[in-house]
Amino acid sequence: MHYVTAKGILSSKNGMNLYRGCSHGCIYCDSRSKCYHMDHDFEDIEVKENAIGLLEYALKHKRKKCMIGTGSMIDPYIPLEMEIGNVRKALELIYAYGFGFTVITKSNRILRDLGIPTVVWLTPILPFINDTEDNISGILDMCMEAKVYGIICFGMGLTLREGNREYFYEQLDSLFPGLKEKYIRTYQNQYVLDSPKNENLMRLFCQKCSEGGIVCNNRQIFQYLQTFEERGSAAQLSLWEM
């Protein structure tokens, strides 16, 4: 872990990365790709020491309330968060200034800050590894049980490009010997690697979402994520006041 002083914190679309790098170790992680120009080891987490000050400044000077998002590049609920607490501090500020918040995470550390209406981002599904009906069906059953609002899914597959492809293939060699060659034979250097079972799995996905009352129209879900609900709505109250 190392500290840096950042120049800004919010992107033009009101997204933020409180940390840079991730220690979850997903072998398919797109954030390793060279196009993101990370100049340190991916597992050597960069902490923006002035992130909270920058965020407060940005929130104070925003003319209109909106949703502030985090987690699209890097999972913010890495183990280090329990020590540093930047996500928690950011949430407190966002709440105090009356903004809304969206977060993408795969960590159950989020339970510390619970009460959040949930959308699942169902990706990636790894061809020849977990692209089975049983797996997708099981995930969808859990989503229904958890009463998620919606599931974002662009297809059953994953993306690979320079930087994360090499790492993914290295991991395949060590975890699934022989599978790298099958990937190369099937997909060469493609960026989008759809599962050969994509069509069937997507049919199953749409059918189960419809049965379970889960929204699976991506456009509708993104609109939902961008919608700032006035304080007093269930969505806002549930975060802090339950």
Residue 76 or 100 with smaller CB distance to ligand SF4: 76
Query: How far apart are CB 176 and ligand SF4 at their closest, in Å?
Result: 18
Query: How far apart are CB 30 and ligand SF4 at their closest, in Å?
Result: 7
Residue 31 or 102 with smaller CB distance to ligand SF4: 31
| Main-chain dihedrals φ then ψ at residue 3, nearest 5 degrees | -100, 145
Residue 164 or 236 with smaller CB distance to ligand SF4: 164
- Token pair 């009352």 is found at 213
**Which of 124, 146, 105, 92 is closest to 195 using CA atoms?**
124
- How far from each other are the two terminal CA atoms of the chain, in whole angstroms? 35
Question: Which parts of this chain interact with ligand SF4 (CB under 6 A)?
Answer: 22, 24, 26, 29, 31, 74-75, 106
Residue 163 or 235 with smaller CB distance to ligand SF4: 163
Q: What's the burial of 151, exposed, middle or buried (CB within 10 Å: 0-12/13-18/19+)?
A: buried
Residue 178, classed as helix, strand or coil, is coil
Query: How far apart are CB 23 and ligand SF4 at their closest, in Å?
Result: 7
Query: How far apart are CB 216 and ligand SF4 at their closest, in Å?
Result: 21
Residue 123 or 200 with smaller CB distance to ligand SF4: 123
Which ranges of the chain does DSSP label H, i.e. alpha helix?
A: 51-60, 81-84, 86-96, 133-145, 164-175, 179-187, 198-212, 218-226, 234-240
Query: How far apart are CB 71 and ligand SF4 at their closest, in Å?
Result: 8
